[in-house]
A and B are shown apart, each in its own frame.
Chain A
Amino acid sequence: MKRQRLVGYVFIAPNLIGMTVFMLVPALFSFYLMFTDWVFASGQPPRFIGLDNFRMMVRDDLFVVSVKNTLLVLIPVPISIMLGFLIAVMLNNRTYFQKTLRAFFFAPYFTSGIAIAFVWMVLFQPTNGPINAFLRSIGISEPPLWFASPDTAMYAVLIMMTAGGIGYNMIIYLAALQELSSEQLEAAKMDGATFGQLLRLIIFPLVSPTTFFLMITGFIGSIKSFGMIYAITQGGPGNSTTVFSIFAYKKAFNFYEMGYASAVSWTMFLIILCITLIQWVGQKKWVHY
């Protein structure tokens, strides 16, 4: 028994060591750093300053902007879940080009996020982009500037993130839909349920654990979103797309303010934790196992 346990530990050791060295230790180190004023590569050791970083944070205009923007990037999560669900329902039935369409919708998920970001950058190009060319062709003489304006950059980001989430949600829903028992659906149909009622009252509640899973992971992913936004706007123009992670990144890697950046990162962790706990408590009302 003892030997068996030891063998088990040996098997998980590579992952455990990697996790400890590359995630746990840096996380704990950053927990310590958030109470210091450490500036990377300054030659000065970390100096304990208590909660000063947090005091500075709440007075920092850019932090407030980043909180607002981070809350905004939560919007694509339910929208892409709904769209993913509807597409999954459609592709779960027999349709022409079923496999091709599944691959088409899923493609953005297995493509590099940066590559997708650059595709959106071209699509949303204000002067020569196809989206604005289309808008001009239907009579909109001054189409939005999308990523190039502080007024519209965040909307462009939200559209990009919504589209980016659909494929993954669809695949997960497809798996869930194929697990549904056909008896329940047949019974509902025999009772005269319309397609809309079937969706709303039978199918959607039956896949609610999947919806819950996608909500949790989607919110966490959205709050942490960085790469696609940074690749296009670097948080601009005029800080209009600066979200938490970009704010922390700039503090850490542009200005080397590691203490402050750690405080921002742990604040982000706490917000994610709170949102997840709220969802966890709220699931009792609508998730049916």
Chain B
Amino acid sequence: MKRSLIGRLWPNATAVVLFVVFAFPVYWMFATAFKPTGDIIAEDPVFFPTDATLEHFKEAVNADHFWTLVGNSVTVTVVSVLLSLVIALLASFALARMRFKGRRGFILTFMIAQMAPWEVMVIAIYMIVRDADLLNSLVSLTFFYMVMVLPFTILTLRGYVAAVPKELEESAMVDGCTRTQAFTKVIFPLLAPGLMATSLFGFITAWNEFPMVLILNKNAEAQTLPLWLSSFQTTFGDDWGATMAAASLFAVPILILFVFLQRKAVSGLVSGAVKG
């Protein structure tokens, strides 16, 4: 009796400790952002802010170019992820469903492409973009981000496509659909969770990208939020209230997106990874 009580207690106790460990940094970011400066530099940290202030957020929002950069980040992220989804969907269908010469070679190509250390190729990329006269533009960023997330998108979507039973497609074709129709009417709706999962990771990657925009877009108005956040911190130094407000503004869109899409993302990822 006693044993089973302990047996039931320790997982729950561990879970509580883990919850605190994982959630605390996020909580601390928001808490600091809303705290008056006096509370931030108190000798004993104020864990539950009582008088919240929006002062730090005002400071962050009024920083140079903030809204332009928000627009840039959103545009680059959304366009690059949508483009990569369309391209990846075509490719993943071929890789999951068709038998053809060189199939393994293609899969290996994308696996290796997934490992591409973009950070270390920035010099070459800088020269290519410069020669194409596209420095300080969002176009080059968008295309590079698209290819950055493409291999992961293809390989994961391929798992989702493979997880859809072949019979569904075949019976649709027996019923008179062409292969394209079978795909758009039967397979595509079933892929919705997969598309969400993969786009989620694409969003995070593109939203976060930092070294490339650092090199390619020196012009302040052509930059994106990660640069703003890192330079914000340099400019504002030890003003942790403003810095945490800036970090919160940067993190919130992804946090919201993630909490909404997470469940679908996970179920899909698993069906993709655990096959065979």
Partners in one complex: no
B contacts, CB < 8 Å to A = none
A contacts, CB < 8 Å to B = none
